[in-house]
Amino acid sequence: MTVPTPDLTSRRSFLRKSAITAVALPTAASLLGACEGEAAKAAPAAKTAAAGSAGHGAHGTTTTSASATLSPAAKAAAMDEMHEKGVKSFPAKTAKWGNQPMKPKMDGKVKVFELTCTKMKWETEPGKFVDAMAYNEQVPGPQIRVTEGDRVRFVVTNKMDESTAMHYHGLEVPNDQDGVPFITQPVIKPGETFTYEFTVPNSGSHMYHSHHNAAMQTSSGLLGALIVDKKRPPKIEKVDIDYTMILNDGSHGFTLNGKSFPATEPIVAKLGQKLRIRFMNEGMQIHPMHLHGMHFTVIAKDGWDQPAPWKCDTLNIAPGERWDVIVNCNNPGTWAFHCHILSHAESPHGMFGMVTALIVQKPGVA
Ligand SMILES: [Cu+2]
Q: How far, in Å, is the centroid of ligand 1 from the Cα of 274?
A: 25
Q: How far, in Å, is the centroid of ligand 1 from the Cα of 55?
A: 12
Task: Give the pLDDT confidence of 15-29 residue by residue, as tens digits.
Answer: 333 333 333 333 333
Task: Give the pLDDT confidence of 256-297 residue by residue, as tens digits.
Answer: 999 999 999 999 999 999 999 999 999 999 999 999 999 999
Q: How far, in Å, is the centroid of ligand 1 from the Cα of 78?
A: 26
| 135 domain-assigned | yes
Q: Band of the pLDDT at 43, cuts 50, 70, 90?
A: very low
Q: How far, in Å, is the centroid of ligand 1 from the Cα of 288?
A: 6
Last residue in a domain, options 203, 229, 255:
229
Query: DSSP state, 188?
Result: B
Looking at the fold, whether 74 and 169 belong to one and the same domain comes out as: no
Mean pLDDT in residue range 165-170: 98
What are the distances in angstroms from CA 218 to CA 196, 210, 266, 281, 340?
Answer: 19, 6, 24, 11, 23
Task: Give the pLDDT confidence of 227-261 residue by residue, as tens digits.
Answer: 999 999 999 999 999 999 999 999 999 999 999 99
| 97 domain-assigned | no
Looking at the fold, whether 56 and 80 belong to one and the same domain comes out as: yes
Q: How far, in Å, is the centroid of ligand 1 from the Cα of 44?
A: 17
| Partners of 243 in the β-ladder | 277
| 100 domain-assigned | no
Q: How far, in Å, is the centroid of ligand 1 from the Cα of 29?
A: 26
Lowest mean pLDDT among 16-25, 109-118, 182-191: 16-25
Q: How far, in Å, is the centroid of ligand 1 from the Cα of 270?
A: 27
| Partners of 323 in the β-ladder | 279, 301
The boundaries of the domain holding residue 69 are: 10-88
Looking at the fold, whether 213 and 124 belong to one and the same domain comes out as: yes
| 189 domain-assigned | yes
CA dihedral 14, 15, 19, 20 (to 10 degrees): -50
**Burial 218-249, CB ≥16 within 10 A → b, else e:** bbbbbbbbbbbbeeeeeeebebeeebbbbbbb
CA angle at residue 59 from 57 to 60, to 5 degrees? 100
Q: How far, in Å, is the centroid of ligand 1 from the Cα of 71?
A: 34
CA angle at residue 299 from 293 to 300, to 5 degrees? 125
Q: Is the pLDDT of residue 59 over 50?
A: no
Looking at the fold, whether 193 and 263 belong to one and the same domain comes out as: no
Last residue in a domain, options 43, 61, 88:
88
Q: Is the pLDDT of residue 42 over 80?
A: no
CA–CA gap between residue 287 and residue 276 (Å, rounded): 18
pLDDT computed for residue 356 by the predictor: 98
Helix axes 10-23, 72-88, angle to 10 degrees: 120
pLDDT computed for residue 242 by the predictor: 98
For the chain, the average pLDDT equals 86
Q: How far, in Å, is the centroid of ligand 1 from the Cα of 231?
A: 34
Q: How far, in Å, is the centroid of ligand 1 from the Cα of 295?
A: 18
In this structure, which residues have their CB less than 5 angstroms from ion ligand 1? 287, 339, 341, 344
Looking at the fold, whether 172 and 273 belong to one and the same domain comes out as: no
| 3 domain-assigned | no
Q: How far, in Å, is the centroid of ligand 1 from the Cα of 103?
A: 32
Lowest mean pLDDT among 3-12, 131-140, 325-334: 3-12
Looking at the fold, whether 139 and 209 belong to one and the same domain comes out as: yes
Please count the structural domains in the chain: 3
Cα-flanking dihedrals φ and ψ of residue 13, to 5°?
A: -60, -40
Q: Is the pLDDT of residue 55 over 80?
A: no
Looking at the fold, whether 243 and 224 belong to one and the same domain comes out as: no
| 64 domain-assigned | yes
Last residue in a domain, options 229, 246, 270:
229
CA angle at residue 301 from 295 to 302, to 5 degrees? 140
Q: How far, in Å, is the centroid of ligand 1 from the Cα of 84?
A: 22
Looking at the fold, whether 254 and 213 belong to one and the same domain comes out as: no
Looking at the fold, whether 195 and 137 belong to one and the same domain comes out as: yes
Q: How far, in Å, is the centroid of ligand 1 from the Cα of 141?
A: 21
DSSP string, 296-324: EEEEEETTEEEEEEEEESEEEE-TT-EEE
| 99 domain-assigned | no
Identify the CATH number of the domain in which residue 348 sits.
2.60.40.420
pLDDT computed for residue 281 by the predictor: 98
Share of the chain above pLDDT 90, in %: 80
Looking at the fold, whether 225 and 256 belong to one and the same domain comes out as: no
Q: How far is C-alpha 10 from the chain's CA centre?
A: 32
Q: Is the pLDDT of residue 13 over 80?
A: no
Looking at the fold, whether 224 and 244 belong to one and the same domain comes out as: no
| 2 domain-assigned | no
Q: Is the pLDDT of residue 315 over 50?
A: yes
Looking at the fold, whether 121 and 212 belong to one and the same domain comes out as: yes
CA–CA gap between residue 204 and residue 189 (Å, rounded): 31
Q: How far, in Å, is the centroid of ligand 1 from the Cα of 58?
A: 17
Mean pLDDT in residue range 131-151: 98
CA–CA gap between residue 103 and residue 75 (Å, rounded): 52
CA–CA gap between residue 222 and residue 137 (Å, rounded): 10
Q: How far, in Å, is the centroid of ligand 1 from the Cα of 340?
A: 6
